[in-house]
Amino acid sequence: MKTRQSPSRLATVLILTFGLNLHGASTLQFEYSPYTATEGDPSVLVAVVRTGDLTGPASVEVESQDVTATAGEDYEATGLTLEFAAGEDLRTFRVPLLNDGAEEADERFRLRLTNPSEGSQLGRQYVTIVVVEDNDPGVQFTWGNFWAREDGGELTVTVERGNDADLAPFTVDYATSDLTAQAGLDYTAISGTLHFEAGEMTRTVEVVVLEDDEVEARERFQMALSASTGPGGLGEHSTADLWVQDSTGNQPRRFGGVHFVASDDGASRLEASLTGRHGGNDDVWYELLNLESSADLATWQPEAWMGVPAPEMPGVFQHEFDPLDPSGNRRFFRLNAAALQSAWPPPESAGCTFATDTTAVGYTERWLMDPTRRNRHGISDKSTFCVSIWYPGLAQSGVLPRRLITAPELHIWLAGWDYREGAPGFDVLSHAFPDIPFDDRHAACPVILFSHTGAPYAGSRTDMFHDAECLARAGYVVVAPDHYDMWATPLEDGTMYWTPTTPDRTPAGFADRVRDCMVIIDALADWQASDPILAGRLDPDRLAAIGMSWGASVAAELCRTVENCRAGIGITVNEWCLTGAEAVMAEGPGKPFMVIQPSNVTSKLLYTQASENAVWLRIAHTDYDSLSTWAPYWNHDPAQGLLEKDRAATRTLEAYEASFLKEHLKGETDPLWQAPSDDYPNVLEHQRK
């Protein structure tokens, strides 16, 4: 920020310089800059911190000043005195915000500290900026992208009028136009006028999608708004892309011929072939098939989930039963024939044959609060963050796996990043089931903390979802937080926060990431005592930490500082991943540590600092993205074969991880991590000490 050397500014500088020499002075300054709030919020929470000598009382005055926001129109002018008692190091206050119905740019006002009491001085951050984000976007589409399958019949588009419900009635026109999809061939062109009544916030438009017999790439057309009579005019999303996913040749999976096979031990096995195929052009992904059984057609129980490479037939379903047991002679089976899709095979997939297995991976989310921190993501009074938890679970009838990317995240992704032509469809699933019961066969599970990649790559807590699923399947509970520098995260009111440019990597940011993990560690006792899913299932005395990129340094720091963190794993470690990790570089992680590098990174950082039981390896045909399980979205190029190379790299990474953790977290001998293996020929180099 540029500053002018006005007389008043010069006087302030002189006071600050003189103040630094005050014996036993306390320093007063704002906790953050900037603060961010939404126009619809009643107020913005601001804090002033006091450091140095706190033995006596202190005071400081606060005054507000307009920048682009206007006192009395956008916020209430503020002038007050903050009184600190002896020993008090923080005071907060609120500045009321004023809401209006006008669409406008984000506005700012300034808060300034003045007149510190005798024996106190102002710190460098004696001025802060408050950014008030407009909540009146005008009339616009709720998102910039909508999608449907070609055989879905209709595509629903939603138009919203903004966030102030007291606006008067108005109208807006809409019309479709071709992009790669053509009216009359791929969809039915429409146009018209939407009438919003007073207080009505949203209206929908239905577009007919047409199915053809041509196997083709996903196509899109556009809908645009125009001629709004509302006071806010048109918003930022006055046009939207409408995507159509090909489904040509889709045939629902069904049971084919059924026969019985007698075993030598007297048991019998029912075998049923499966027919049908997954349609469309996504022939490199996996189709998910779900089998359930019932004795009375009223109560159903899960039998198995299977991942089938999309262009292949799934083979046969097998079910063993005792022919002498009357209850086993009458059993009904049903198959989920929906077009469910995944980029990866399930953990420990049984290939193309069903096997009765109720073991599943559970997934849940929790909100944690750290009252020592505010202004998370620039939101003035936000002290909470979301964590994802994967755990050993029991499959439940009728429960589908969670979407790999939630709809809001995918909207953001489509708006902010390149969604490649070969990327899978819009409804791709993971292999984890939301909020299913914990598997009773697993008790006192070790806990693994996962720290995602950092700025400038803008990771998120679900970056390594397949890795987490494999570890949960093996009997671990995996917990991953959204750090302050993630690309997108939900807020507790149901909205999404996202940023196209992540914060700079700083030592303070590193400390913030470590603090997230410490808050999780503190929460484990409460979860163990009373969590509806996790109670009685955790072993907080057996912890490990895994991190990718900047998160690798976080994992090493947890090994160094947390006594019961028994091992750590770092994935893709470069020099720029070590910002803030000076203590680790000086002292080492102090616990068994594994470093897994892509083929284009030869650095031995963190491995070099580890003293014993350390291992370092590189995996062939990989780069930074290849070791993240998001890679299939970006590396699908059949000509180069990158997709299968990425899958092979992930299998290798997960196998060596599992072996290392089995020995150092569960105390079970497993030799794989100690040396190269013919089973994983893509390990380029392997070193151990």
pLDDT in tens, 611-627: 888 999 999 988 887 78
- Tell how far CA 122 is from the center of its chain: 39
β-strand pairing of 43-52 with 26-30: antiparallel
Same domain, 531 and 633: yes
What amino acid occupies position 112? R
Same domain, 149 and 21: no
Count how many domains the chain has.
4
Using CA atoms, how far residue 218 sits from 214, 246, 400, 411, in Å, is 11, 6, 25, 16
Look up residue 393 and give its DSSP letter.
Answer: E
| pLDDT at residue 355 tops 60 | no
Stronger pLDDT, 582 or 24, i.e. the higher one: 582
pLDDT in tens, 482-535: 999 988 888 888 888 888 777 888 999 999 999 999 999 999 999 999 999 999
Summary mean pLDDT of the chain: 85
Segment holding 475, helix H or strand E: none
Percent of the chain scored above 90 by pLDDT?
A: 51
Same domain, 505 and 591: yes
Q: Out of 245, 274, 306, pick the residue that ends a domain.
A: 245
pLDDT given for residue 328 in this prediction: 53
If we measure between CA atoms, which residue out of 176, 331, 186, 284 comes closest to residue 239?
176
Q: Does 250 reside within a domain?
A: no
| pLDDT at residue 75 tops 90 | yes
Q: How far apart are the first and last CA of the chain?
A: 49
β-strand pairing of 26-30 with 35-38: unpaired
Same domain, 60 and 150: no
Question: 372: exposed, middle or buried (C-beta count within 10 Å: 0-12, 13-18, 19+)?
Answer: exposed
pLDDT in tens, 391-428: 999 988 888 899 888 888 888 877 776 666 666 677 78
Q: Does 271 reside within a domain?
A: yes
| pLDDT at residue 18 tops 70 | no
Look up residue 85 and give its DSSP letter.
Answer: P
Could you tell me if 314 and 256 are in contact, meaning their C-beta atoms sit under 8 angstroms apart?
A: no
Same domain, 349 and 367: no
pLDDT given for residue 10 in this prediction: 30
pLDDT given for residue 428 in this prediction: 82
Same domain, 178 and 263: no
Model confidence at 337, pLDDT cuts 50, 70, 90, reads: low
Sign of the four-CA dihedral 484, 490, 491, 497: positive
Q: Does 2 reside within a domain?
A: no
CATH of residue 105: 2.60.40.2030
| pLDDT at residue 686 tops 60 | yes
pLDDT given for residue 567 in this prediction: 97
pLDDT given for residue 151 in this prediction: 82
Same domain, 239 and 280: no
pLDDT given for residue 13 in this prediction: 33
Same domain, 352 and 365: no
Same domain, 446 and 487: yes
Mean per-residue pLDDT, 169-183: 95
Mark residue 624 as left, alpha or beta (left: phi above 0; alpha: psi -120 to 50; beta: remaining): alpha
> Mind giving me the DSSP string for 652-668?
HHHHHHHHHHHHHTS--
Mean per-residue pLDDT, 235-261: 83
> Which stretches within 562-610 are classed as H helix?
582-587
pLDDT given for residue 572 in this prediction: 93
pLDDT given for residue 12 in this prediction: 32
| pLDDT at residue 41 tops 70 | yes
Q: How many C-beta atoms surround the C-beta of residue 74 within 10 A?
A: 21
| pLDDT at residue 279 tops 80 | no
Interatomic CA distance for residues 466 and 652, integer angstroms: 13
Q: Which residues contact 83 (CB under 8 A, 6 or more apart)?
A: 57, 58, 59, 91
Identity of the highest mean pLDDT range in 136-140, 176-180, 242-246, 609-613? 176-180
Mean per-residue pLDDT, 201-206: 94
3-state secondary structure 132-195: EECCCCCEEECCCEEEEEHHHCEEEEEEECCCCCCCCCEEEEEEEEECCCCECCCECCCEEEEE
pLDDT given for residue 417 in this prediction: 67
Q: Out of 74, 103, 133, pick the residue that ends a domain.
A: 133
Q: Does 1 reside within a domain?
A: no
Same domain, 396 and 311: no
pLDDT given for residue 638 in this prediction: 56
CATH of residue 596: 3.40.50.1820
What is the domain extent for residue 25? 7-133
Q: Out of 334, 356, 378, pick the residue that ends a domain.
A: 356
pLDDT in tens, 623-672: 887 787 666 555 556 556 667 788 888 889 999 999 999 999 999 999 99
